[in-house]
Structure 1
């Protein structure tokens, strides 16, 4: 169990940190706490911990002085600083003292804090085995990775905040101009928790030595995708693009041959400073996503192989749920395939990744909605939805998505054809009920519930079997009954009420629309008075 000393002048912050972390699960224990540097130094000198977590601004002895004093007696102790964004000048000095990581107080979240502590703990074991240089000769790897992660995410921050982060990055060995490589794993490959990230890091460690003139920093983004920042004067030269491409190719070959792992590498343009790293990251990610249109397992350079979405049209591709539903319910497989073919051809023409995501989601929603209409078991529908989402998430290219949707909709139509024959008796039962109870108020929802079919499915199946809609058929039944009653002495208004159309004006309107004459004209004809 590794020991931790926590130093923070505000009791509520110390209490919050102690309470929100599952220390035992991490293999850590808080062996002491202090409200200032003087108390903390006494604790550390008496019983040195493995990890020191300290605030920067404190009374009597601040965090910078404490770190300096601790380094004299415990040069290899892991140190994490608690900082506010406005304390950056203090943080720069702490970085020079060789801290392992830092936490912005306003951003503290239990999961992120625990993840950081787990990495710091792991670095203790690595240091015990590897030995190596003095811990504060340069910024530690954990801190460098966190700096780079914050830099690529700093696009929405203020200019002052971005400048502060860039100042921190200036303490790394990497110098601008910079180029970024984004390594995107094939969907379905092992993720960050299942060896995917470690396999890529190992492959990079084996490939990079062949490029001795290249300065590189490796870090993972929030999704566990590995990124490589290349720096130094070579990164700005025209031939550096070719060199980055060669590095990416070598990495992909190593991953395929040694790890059986397929990935795509996106490469950014060269940028001149750290504040432009978010732009380089966006370019590299956009280039990697372009695999959707040209294939996976390759190196794609932003501005060379990928130049952005084509300006073929600015209007969104419109998906018609009504048209899709009509073709599925009518079992028009050929027509539906042509419809989908046109949609995917348009997306291939535009080559817009975001557009493909939006349209694919809409097609998936329509697919699962139709299954929900015809399925009798809601749990099976939920299972199918989960299966569909998982399958679609693993598709890398537009051609794969197209083939998947073609097959999925074809399976739906074939299932629809199969259930039609079984459910025809339900339509006959509904028709019989309508003929016997036409005078009652009757809704599509009520009659579909009666025969245990979903409303949409029942409505479509009814029209397919009867050649007319539920409402049209019900209205015809009522008008036929009204014709018979018009031969009697009953008043027209009463007849409308008896056949389930209580509004006299509406009854007359519907009767004339169907028969071509008004109820009174029809009565006169029946009696031979016309």
Structure 2
């Protein structure tokens, strides 16, 4: 078994990674997890692992710090990086420090993770250094422009000056609601998604004549648009992106949004233009699905200003997405007072910043701000139609209520999912005498006291009674189907003491284990 260490400060991500696939079937075992890089290094002092799956942004010691440390190990484990859409600079640094691959958190699903692990298993199976060097040399000879663009964007290789000769734009594309569409491709993202998507793009003459399109991840793509048309390049670039998005939607049934950078020149500008394109793409939530965003749109929100607003609205956004009535009420009063002081125009801009931050937080948790309403919403248009502060305040009050109602529903659904995971965990571990309320609560990432009350409410019995029922039911099955001795059955269902097992069995079944077997 290949040993795996998960490093992420987000409990939900750690739980998700554990539950997405059957690790042992694939030859992997998750031996531990850690909430930051320092905790991971403390574990690695006394233990060796084959694979580290690490987030990039963590408190105490981040993913880069962890990579710098493990890069000095006598034998460096393979490192798979977890990142958000705005972490590409960190991903490039990670590759320079020896990371073997990366996975966007928004793409996280069982099929993609399984594909990555299969690829790593093949690497381990072919650890012959001479063979790897030969394969790498062969790969360099055959690499396409598309692959070269991807490698340079992600920092897997140096920038080629000749590749960026002249003026250009960088575009990032994203498949909207990727998680909803991922299941259609049955785990074969390369053959059933990426290849057809690139092939359809290659049927468009102006894409072929001036563009290079590369794959960042199954949900995210990068395009270099070479400027060959002087003063008309802005309109032509937008038109080209809209045509691409339309083709992908019509023939692959995939809604795709795009973000276009300002003009760059030479290799030195590329990474900045790449990051800028991602920034513009992140604003597409304000326009709805299948939107094209660029620096030339009048009235568009500034990405960096919206990002800076995160600190101002952190308590409010957290309150909205946890349906915290008190926190939202307090922050809303402050917000409306500030709006009246600043005036209508400034208030509209700030409201767009706030909605941006809500959208980004929802997207990080595999949710979609578009799900708030049945119809597609263009927030620029909706907020633009508010002509005085009174109507803006009324709309804001209604909007906050919609968000909190949606968040409460989603939280209830997630809690139900957690209870389902808890019961699966109990079924997988009932034979362990050390299984406790605390260990199950920790597995699903909930406070022990809250988990206990929630479990009792959901199941109509306490955790202890539920576990006892599971164990006794399994014991009865073993008595009916096997010739195991009573003490062996006792141990098989999690009881160290056969006397205790006998008392519990008789209390529930009204007969002793021996009498039940007869």
Larger relative CO (CA 8 A, sep 6+): 1 or 2?
A: 2
Does the TM-score normalized on the shorter chain lie above 0.5? Answer: no
User: Taking structure 1 as the reference length, what is the TM-score of the superposition?
Assistant: 0.37
Q: Which has the larger radius of gyration?
A: 1
